[in-house]
């Protein structure tokens, strides 16, 4: 989800105060604890001219390779949860997760973090869709209705920013 948030927020970060990048970097280690304050403080910038101020960042967030890797990773995560991560003992991934969930604290925190990140992705995704001229309520609902997989699929399918906008970077 930190990759998803970075790809959604950095294209509109040019005139943001505070800057988006420290919160995006922090979210890779601290999840919503780092991203939450930024989401509360930032301003809504759906304008097509809103692009990252750094050309290298713009190339990364617009590149389909990280989006494809994120989507494949999200599908693998679903595979592990559904039961593909059982190993030799025949215990499915969901059973193993529930065992960890009952006996340790980290799965609670991680699960809540993933849930909160999945819920709050709708607003940055709507802003990104508007920026690209691709917004419709139905599309947004479809992508956010499937946690993790939906936002990763959106990154893979979303149209690129126009060439004129990329040259402003």
pLDDT tens, the chain, 169 aa long: 999 999 999 887 877 888 898 999 999 999 999 999 999 998 887 776 555 567 777 788 888 999 999 999 999 988 887 766 655 444 567 888 888 888 999 988 998 999 999 999 999 999 999 988 899 999 999 999 999 999 999 999 999 876 444 444 3
Q: Most distant CA pair in the chain: distance in Å? A: 56
Q: State residue 145's pLDDT score.
A: 95
pTM summary value = 0.84
Number of domains in the chain: 1
What domain range is 133 assigned to? 2-167
Q: State residue 49's pLDDT score.
A: 53
Helices (H) then strands (E): counts for the chain: 11, 0
Q: State residue 165's pLDDT score.
A: 42
Instruction: Specify the long-range contacts of residues 141-149, CB closer than 8 Å, at least 24 apart.
Output: 144/118, 147/114, 147/115, 147/118, 148/1, 148/74, 148/77, 148/114, 148/118, 149/71, 149/74, 149/75, 149/78
């Amino acid at each position: 989800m930190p990759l998803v948030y970075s790809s959604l927020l950095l294209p509109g970060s040019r005139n943001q105060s505070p800057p988006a990048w420290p919160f995006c970097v922090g979210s890779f280690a601290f999840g919503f604890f780092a991203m939450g304050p930024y989401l509360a403080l930032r301003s809504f910038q759906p304008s097509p001219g809103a692009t990252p101020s750094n050309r290298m960042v713009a190339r990364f967030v617009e590149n389909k390779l990280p989006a494809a890797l994120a989507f494949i990773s999200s599908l693998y995560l679903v595979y592990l949860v559904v039961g593909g991560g059982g190993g030799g003992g025949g215990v499915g991934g969901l059973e193993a997760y529930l065992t960890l969930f009952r006996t340790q604290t980290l799965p609670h925190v991680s699960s809540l973090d993933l849930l909160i990140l999945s819920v709050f992705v709708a607003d940055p995704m709507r802003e990104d869709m508007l920026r690209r001229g691709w917004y419709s309520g139905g599309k947004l609902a479809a992508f956010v209705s499937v946690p993790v997989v939906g936002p990763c699929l959106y990154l893979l399918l979303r149209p690129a920013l126009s060439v004129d906008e990329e040259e402003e970077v």
